Structure 1
């Protein structure tokens, strides 16, 4: 193994050891680490806040033709919690065993952040001149909706100012020899239904209670969920990306005291997580919500709402160049719709084509799971893949 590969492996492990885990991510230490790492390549690094205590890291390399659309390489700094009781090693130790690096964030997505920085740094070191300007961002808060990071970059007008032509962001591991690439994703709609009803003593037949209404909501949502699942099971050619998913995640009822079992509560709520496939119209889901609220006499509010869900054109020059680069590298890609949500959705809402690609094949999907790991050789290959892909994209 050469010295450059040893260096980037050490950087990867150091980044993993910084506990940027919710609910109190250590962004300050991560930003300082990324700044020092960038300086080793003489890259121009800055950090700024659009939301207090949520810094955004930014590297800028001006292209030889700075007025043409630029390239954005995005990754998020934060990671989800890990239950140490269910891990074989400390999830923030970056312990290596049998060529595998174990840590929270190895797949989601500190690997890609390091690969973006290292691949661009190596190209700069080699004397490569980018035709298009490059923006590398390290954003906070993706794991809690992206509202303090990428969404703010979009709302502030900064992304528009940067004149982004194409963006790269996270993908998923692929257990097979192939590599998964995402050109779209499901739109997350998190909805809170609220019912108010009659109250009384638990010994009586009280009608039109809040809980009765919420139960009716739950029944109708479950019926819709079962229909989507049936569509998926009946057609072996369909994937979870072809249907809407819906899961009830919270049910609550308010009483004066938890011990008041004999009191019928006046208010009840139900929260659900709906992921809308871009292959179908959002109107179907909006109609379902409206009908449920009218028939069950309940109110609703969005806790998260994606009103626009664009796809990246697979025939665009951006994707075709990416596809060609992968072919030259000898890697086979599988274009898919991402089943969950990433920061890419905010970019696609602006009409910016975004490609979700984490170069991890022969790897089980372990994001948010126990004993998350990434093989060191697969990680190192990803650096070289990105060097080829980014140099090719920058030339068009």
Structure 2
């Protein structure tokens, strides 16, 4: 590299690099099928290691098993006596079928002023914002206000057992002194008409997330010939259990973050709501409506079925996969209801379980996130919300670390954002990446 190139590289900002890094990461296929298949995160982790060591940092790469790699780097702060902050993202993505997409999901093509590809919003966009800002910090020689533990983690899309949970169980010392964390699915904007009929942006800051119970239902019966009547048919017993569970109405409960969101939105748009009906108000959330609707109650959705091996043979067993998400404090009740509805001929197996989270919408960290957003978008509002899915913050909670979702994006009003998570034609606007890089940089300088 020439002296001029070195000087130019030294002047690069996070905003200058964020699109390149996002494209590079999307171009590395890290599909996680959840069953041991897939390329793993090693290649992406090696890319992150190169980007970090290039600016003089000393990261570590750890594998829970061959190919399942995470990267951690600690950055010393101005005041190391303060509790540290974890800033983390995951490197894996859910699979994508190229036949369903307008573009190759791993080509990281720029089209219509967006970067397209699997991981563009979940969550290689945030990985790029983090990596770009850490590189700028290292080049500048500035220190953040407190220690940062920056992580690029494996296996989040399958529950984090080979990533965040493994790190917490086997390498908890990496997070020594850390009290708070930020990660994905928060800090993005929604746009709606306010009570004066003017367009208003609000940023949804994730302060809570539902718990996870991935269950497998196993129905048992009597095997037999397909031509002979059978009143102990496992397929029928499973179908009846599915029907009962699917028909169950889960009661509504507005936890604190949901109540604060709805109250704040109601004040902005001038539409009231009741505990029984918030539909008119929810309409104003646009593409985020699905995320929020999933937090009004516990949910149970069937996702896979498995039964039989020949057309004329009644099988002895039949199975179904059930994805349950529960609000904070609801886990025991949800499991009790599922077991009761499944019935006496159906066993309920827990394949994966993780906790619900609930953090306050107040304090120094929340103030830093809010002020960083409003510095770039002064007329906006910032509201809390609960995520219907889950993040690696669940694993860090085992160490007493309080987690928030803060991947800041100012989004076009007409972009249907939430359905792109695990959806087709996933993409992130270039302007949103630039905005997010600036906001995250402000935040890291004041956190």
TM-score, structure 2 length as denominator?
0.79
Tell me, which stretches of 5 or more residues in structure 2 are unaligned? 1-10, 192-200, 254-273, 283-292
Output one character per residue of 1:86-117: Cα deviation in whole Å (capped at 9) or x when no partner. 32222222211232111211111111111112
Given that 1:153 and 1:159 are in contact with CA atoms closer than 8 Å, whether structure 2 keeps it comes out as no
2:212 aligns to what SS in structure 1?
strand
Provide the residue aligned with 1:364 in structure 2. Answer: 416
Distance 1:372 1:242 in 2: 26
Counterpart of 1:56 (choices 67, 70, 85) is 70
Counterpart of 1:240 (choices 294, 312, 318) is 294
Distance 1:232 1:211 in 2: 39
Closer, same or farther: CA 212–18 of 1 in aligned 2, 3 Å = closer
Output one character per residue of 1:205-257: Cα deviation in whole Å (capped at 9) or x when no partner. 3223322322231122012157779x998433573211112111223223xx4
* 1:116 aligns to 2:130 (yes or no): yes
How far apart are residue 67 of structure 1 and its match?
Answer: 4.1
Distance 1:290 1:372 in 2: 37
Given that 1:225 and 1:246 are in contact with CA atoms closer than 8 Å, whether structure 2 keeps it comes out as no
Greater mean deviation of Cα atoms: 334-343 or 193-202: 193-202
Closer, same or farther: CA 46–85 of 1 in aligned 2, 3 Å = same
Output one character per residue of 1:11-41: Cα deviation in whole Å (capped at 9) or x when no partner. 2222221122234235332122212211332
1:219 aligns to what SS in structure 2?
helix
Distance 2:344 2:278 in 1: 33
Counterpart of 1:343 (choices 385, 392, 415) is 392
How far apart are residue 343 of structure 1 and its match?
Answer: 1.2
* 1:41 aligns to 2:95 (yes or no): no
Closer, same or farther: CA 90–297 of 1 in aligned 2, 3 Å = closer
Distance 2:102 2:223 in 1: 51
Provide the residue aligned with 1:216 in structure 2. Answer: 240
Output one character per residue of 1:146-192: Cα deviation in whole Å (capped at 9) or x when no partner. 11001111222516752211111111554523322211111111111
Given that 1:74 and 1:136 are in contact with CA atoms closer than 8 Å, whether structure 2 keeps it comes out as yes
Provide the residue aligned with 2:19 in structure 1. Answer: 9
Output one character per residue of 1:62-103: Cα deviation in whole Å (capped at 9) or x when no partner. 224334321111111111222222322222222112321112
Output one character per residue of 1:114-155: Cα deviation in whole Å (capped at 9) or x when no partner. 111222332343332234211111111111221100111122
Distance 2:306 2:38 in 1: 26
Counterpart of 2:363 (choices 309, 312, 316) is 316
Tell me, which stretches of 5 or more residues in structure 1 are unaligned? none
Provide the residue aligned with 2:6 in structure 1. Answer: none
Distance 1:253 1:77 in 2: 34
Output one character per residue of 1:327-380: Cα deviation in whole Å (capped at 9) or x when no partner. 344353231111111212222344321111221232432222222111112101
Provide the residue aligned with 2:216 in structure 1. Answer: 192
* 1:305 aligns to 2:324 (yes or no): no
Mapping for residues 15-34 of structure 1, pairs under 5 Å:
15-22=25-32, 23-25=37-39, 27-34=41-48
Counterpart of 1:134 (choices 132, 148, 166) is 148
Given that 1:44 and 1:61 are in contact with CA atoms closer than 8 Å, whether structure 2 keeps it comes out as no
Distance 2:17 2:405 in 1: 26
2:334 aligns to what SS in structure 1?
helix
Closer, same or farther: CA 220–159 of 1 in aligned 2, 3 Å = farther
Given that 1:18 and 1:92 are in contact with CA atoms closer than 8 Å, whether structure 2 keeps it comes out as yes
1:73 aligns to what SS in structure 2?
strand
Count how many residue pairs are aligned between Structure 1 and Structure 2.
Answer: 384
Distance 2:251 2:79 in 1: 52
Provide the residue aligned with 1:169 in structure 2. Answer: 183
TM-score, structure 1 length as denominator?
0.88
Distance 1:26 1:390 in 2: 30
- Alignment RMSD: 2.6
Given that 1:184 and 1:337 are in contact with CA atoms closer than 8 Å, whether structure 2 keeps it comes out as yes
Distance 1:29 1:326 in 2: 33
How far apart are residue 386 of structure 1 and its match?
Answer: 0.6
1:296 aligns to what SS in structure 2?
coil
